[in-house]
């Protein structure tokens, strides 16, 4: 996964829909800390979370991870 692309795209998508990290976390069943770590590049989400994020934002996983 292209880490810098994922971090930026996740944050951009979140801001586009006007959510805080806490609000996004609640909507997908994660914690605010997880979202913060994903956006800062401290950790990468596993496939479970990639699917949740892609479904929530109605994008392809390939888009999230910088493949398209």
In order of their start, the domains of the chain are 3-64 (1.10.260.40)
pLDDT at 4: 86
Per the structure block, which two tokens stand in for 22? 């806490």
The predicted pLDDT at position 1 comes to 58
Confidence band of 3 (pLDDT split at 50, 70, 90): low
DSSP letters along 1-53, please? --HHHHHHHHHHHHHHTT--HHHHHHHHT--HHHHHHHHHTSS---HHHHHHH
Task: Kindly report the backbone phi and psi dihedral angles of residue 58, in degrees, each rounded to the nearest multiple of 5, phi listed first.
Answer: 55, 50
pLDDT in tens, 5-57: 999 999 999 999 999 999 999 999 999 999 999 999 999 999 999 999 999 99
């Amino acid at each position: 996964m292209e880490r810098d692309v994922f971090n930026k795209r996740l944050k951009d998508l979140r801001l586009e829909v006007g959510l805080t990290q806490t609000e996004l976390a609640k909507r997908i069943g994660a914690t605010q800390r997880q979202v913060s770590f994903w956006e800062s590049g401290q950790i990468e989400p596993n496939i479970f979370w990639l699917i949740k994020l892609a479904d929530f934002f109605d994008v392809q996983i390939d888009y999230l991870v910088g493949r398209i």
